[in-house]
């Protein structure tokens, strides 16, 4: 299983009035970490969407559990990996740490989406090819 690690320095603009990271920023970091994981696995989104004629990987669920603080000036590490492949969706797990202490654990559930010609500008979930999943072994 391939994992991706990224680091970021928490900036003033990442924080709310209590000087903790404003929670929507974690979800933005999850999204970026997922895209980087795919890129480093040879599955850059623009390339893969053309290769498999995809409409994208829309989110159908995203969750986070906040277990510790991160503040302005902290260096965070975001570790991400595909935790589970399902027939038409996949789960990406994210763990964010500060100085090796876990501060947030989250996941995204994304759909393998193709165009749905029965609906104007529609999309639908489709089976994820095994050849694609193997890029993350």
Q: List the domains of the chain with CATH numbers.
A: 3-136 (3.10.129.10)
Which residues, in sequence order, are CB contacts of 18 under 8 Å at separation 6+?
none
Which residues, in sequence order, are CB contacts of 34 under 8 Å at separation 6+?
57, 80, 92, 94, 108, 110
Q: How confident is the prediction for the chain on average, in pLDDT?
A: 95
The string of pLDDT tens digits covering residues 43-102 is: 999 999 999 999 999 999 999 999 999 999 999 999 999 999 999 999 999 999 999 999
Active site residues: 16
> Percentage helix, strand, coil, to 5, in the chain?
25, 45, 30
């Amino acid at each position: 299983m391939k994992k991706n690690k990224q680091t970021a320095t928490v900036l003033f603009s990442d924080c709310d009035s209590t000087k903790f990271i404003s929670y929507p920023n974690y979800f933005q970091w999850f999204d970026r970490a997922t895209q980087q994981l795919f890129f480093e696995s040879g599955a850059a989104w623009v390339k893969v969407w053309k290769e498999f004629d995809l409409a994208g990987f829309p989110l159908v669920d995203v969750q986070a559990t906040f277990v510790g603080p991160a503040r302005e000036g902290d260096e965070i590490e975001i570790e991400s990996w595909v935790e589970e492949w399902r027939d038409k969706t996949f789960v990406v797990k994210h763990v964010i740490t500060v100085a090796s202490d876990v501060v947030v654990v989250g996941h995204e559930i994304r759909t393998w989406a193709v165009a749905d010609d029965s609906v104007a500008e529609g999309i639908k979930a489709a089976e994820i090819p095994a050849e694609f999943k193997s890029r993350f072994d």
